[in-house]
């Protein structure tokens, strides 16, 4: 019996919010599986099972109620983000260990849902790419491997990997630029590239964009983070490609490559670890875009979204504190 007002509640819950986020990822996953094979579905299942198991185990150890926390679906969202940012042909233990790290270290050791300062999925990514750089860099090309070959790679032991995987488009572009002295235009004519970015992957990112628009329409997220992130990334790419067209790809390539779309709509928008004030969100996302762009072009990793997210997570308390909106009656113009 509720003792105090308000006695009315909007029919909403954390589970509903998380379910909407999962639903919004579905188109991207479908396109992913269509172009790159069933491996991603296996990885999603592995990550989901691992996340729920670790979550339940840790809730039990912490003496917290297990059922409501599993039903809130937050662990599933983390699991899916890990699966989508990891190579779909990585060995099974890679994603299980990563998910365990995300749920146990990045989430529960900090106090569980709502308390983690860093995005758990990105913590897992950062840890694994530092620990297993080779495994984390083996991505299949579009239509390159059939389902049985992918299953063999995930569950089998032997990995004669260089023969069967392609470098990611961002990697291919960077190595190409550095090693062969070739220009952007000639590299993008290569077989690995499609209309605007990597063949196949450009459609996956487009589907993530679609899912993101759905989240905006359902008011699960606000426009600030996606617009600031994609806008800043596009601006930087455009400026760079105008100044040095042979050394830097343009805005479209940058937006539809790597984890830009996933990051803009699904990763940076994680409310727990992200900025919360309207102005803060703009600063947070613009900063993440800048770091992403720098890592992509001057760093050693396939993509920069994960590190950009974590670095900006660090700044969130400061950003939020310094961007508190004016309270009713205290606005400057009165």
Partner 1 sequence: MLQKLFKFNGGVKPATNKAASTRDPIKPVPMPRQLVVPLHQHVGGTPHPLVEAGEQVLKGQRIGAADGNVSSAIHAPTSGRVLAIEPRVMAHSSGLSSLSVVIEPDGEDRWIDTAPMPWRSMSPDEIRDELRDAGIVGLGGAVFPSHLKLKPGNEGTHTLVINGAECEPFITCDDLLMRERGDQIVRGALIMQAMLKAQRVLVGIEDNKPEAIAQMQAAVQRNGTTSMQVIAIPTRYPAGGAKQLIRVLTGIEVPHGRRSTDYGVQCFNTGTAYAIADAVEKGRPLISRIVTVAGNVERPGNYEVLFGTPMDHLAALAGIKADTDRFIMGGPMMGFRMPAYDVPVVKATNCVLVGSEALFPAPAPEMACIRCGECARACPADLQPFELYWHSRAKNFGKAQEYHLFDCIECGCCAYVCPSHIPLVDYYRFAKSEVWARERQKDAADVARERFEFRNERIEREKREKAEKLAAKTAASRAAASSAPGAEQGEAAPAAASTAADDSKKALIAAAMARAKAQRDAADQAAAPVATPPASAPDSAPATTAPAPQDRSI
Q: How far apart are CA 201 and CA 209, in angstroms?
A: 12
Binding to partner 1 by residue 8, rule CB under 8 A? yes
Choose, by CB under 8 A, the member of 51, 113, 234, 251 that binds partner 1.
113
CB of 3 to partner 1, least distance (A): 6
Which residue in the block uniquely carries the two structure tokens 């630029």? 177
Other CB atoms within 10 A of residue 20 CB: 17
Cβ proximity of 52 and 76 under 8 Å: yes
End-to-end CA distance of the chain: 42
Residues 6+ apart with CB under 8 A from 47: 79, 80, 82, 83, 95, 96, 98, 99
- Stretch near partner 1 under the rule CB under 8 A, chosen from 90-98, 108-116, 161-169, 242-250: 108-116
Cβ proximity of 155 and 93 under 8 Å: no
Binding to partner 1 by residue 326, rule CB under 8 A? yes
Cβ proximity of 36 and 44 under 8 Å: no
Q: Could you give the angle at which helices 120-131 and 305-322 cross, rounded to 10 degrees?
A: 140
User: Closer to partner 1 at the Cβ: 88 or 273?
Assistant: 273
- Stretch near partner 1 under the rule CB under 8 A, chosen from 244-252, 293-301, 302-310, 325-333: 325-333
Residues 6+ apart with CB under 8 A from 231: 286, 289
Cβ proximity of 86 and 128 under 8 Å: yes
User: Closer to partner 1 at the Cβ: 72 or 303?
Assistant: 72
Number of residues that bind partner 1 (CB under 8 A): 37
- Stretch near partner 1 under the rule CB under 8 A, chosen from 166-174, 180-188, 285-293, 321-329: 321-329
Binding to partner 1 by residue 332, rule CB under 8 A? no
Residue 5: asked if its preceding bond is cis (omega within 30°), the reply is no
Choose, by CB under 8 A, the member of 160, 163, 328, 332 that binds partner 1.
328
Give the chain's length: 334
Binding to partner 1 by residue 5, rule CB under 8 A? yes
Which residue in the block uniquely carries the two structure tokens 């069967």? 164
Q: Per-residue x/- mask for partner 1, residues 65 to 104, rule CB under 8 A?
A: ---x---x-x------------------------------
Binding to partner 1 by residue 143, rule CB under 8 A? no
User: Closer to partner 1 at the Cβ: 111 or 156?
Assistant: 111
CB of 116 to partner 1, least distance (A): 10
User: Closer to partner 1 at the Cβ: 112 or 194?
Assistant: 112
- Stretch near partner 1 under the rule CB under 8 A, chosen from 33-41, 165-173, 253-261, 320-328: 320-328
Binding to partner 1 by residue 157, rule CB under 8 A? no
Binding to partner 1 by residue 218, rule CB under 8 A? no
Q: Which two tokens mark 211? A: 């899912």
Binding to partner 1 by residue 217, rule CB under 8 A? no
Binding to partner 1 by residue 276, rule CB under 8 A? yes
Cβ proximity of 95 and 82 under 8 Å: yes
Binding to partner 1 by residue 10, rule CB under 8 A? yes
Q: What is the DSSP letter of 208?
A: H
Closest CA to 88 of 134, 28, 136, 54: 136
Binding to partner 1 by residue 13, rule CB under 8 A? yes
User: Closer to partner 1 at the Cβ: 60 or 178?
Assistant: 60
3-state secondary structure of 104: helix
User: Closer to partner 1 at the Cβ: 157 or 329?
Assistant: 329
* Contact residues for partner 1, defined by CB under 8 A: 1-10, 12-14, 16-17, 68, 72, 74, 112-115, 222, 271-272, 276-277, 320, 324-331, 334
């Amino acid at each position: 019996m509720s003792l105090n007002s308000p006695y009315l509640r909007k029919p909403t819950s954390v589970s509903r919010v998380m379910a909407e986020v999962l639903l919004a990822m579905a188109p991207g996953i479908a396109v992913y599986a269509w172009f790159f094979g069933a491996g991603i579905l296996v990885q999603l299942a592995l990550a989901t099972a691992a996340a729920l198991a670790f979550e339940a185990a840790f809730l039990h150890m912490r003496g917290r109620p297990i059922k409501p926390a599993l039903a809130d679906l937050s662990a599933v969202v983390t699991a899916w983000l890990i699966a989508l940012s990891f190579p779909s042909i990585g060995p099974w233990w890679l994603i299980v260990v990563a998910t365990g790290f995300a749920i146990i270290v990045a989430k529960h050791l900090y106090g569980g849902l709502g308390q983690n300062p860093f995005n758990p999925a990105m913590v897992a990514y950062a840890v694994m790419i530092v620990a297993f750089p080779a495994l984390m860099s083996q991505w299949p090309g579009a239509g390159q491997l059939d389902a049985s070959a992918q299953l063999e790679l995930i569950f089998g032991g032997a990995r004669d990997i260089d023969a069967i995987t392609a470098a990611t488009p961002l990697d291919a572009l960077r190595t190409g630029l550095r090693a062969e002295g070739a220009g952007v235009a000639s590299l993008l004519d290569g077989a690995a590239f499609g209309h605007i970015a990597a063949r196949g992957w450009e459609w996956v990112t487009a589907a993530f964009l679609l899912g993101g628009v759905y989240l905006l329409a359902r008011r699960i997220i606000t426009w600030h983070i996606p617009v600031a992130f994609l806008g800043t990334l596009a601006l930087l790419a455009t400026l760079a490609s105008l100044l040095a067209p042979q050394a830097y790809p343009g805005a479209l390539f940058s937006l539809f490559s790597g984890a830009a779309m996933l990051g803009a709509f699904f990763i940076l928008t994680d409310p727990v670890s992200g900025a919360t004030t309207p102005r803060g969100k703009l600063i947070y996302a613009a900063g993440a875009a800048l770091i992403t762009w720098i890592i992509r072009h001057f760093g050693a990793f396939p993509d920069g979204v994960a590190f950009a997210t974590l670095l900006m997570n660090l700044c969130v308390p400061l950003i939020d504190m310094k961007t508190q909106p004016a309270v009713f009656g205290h606005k400057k113009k009165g």
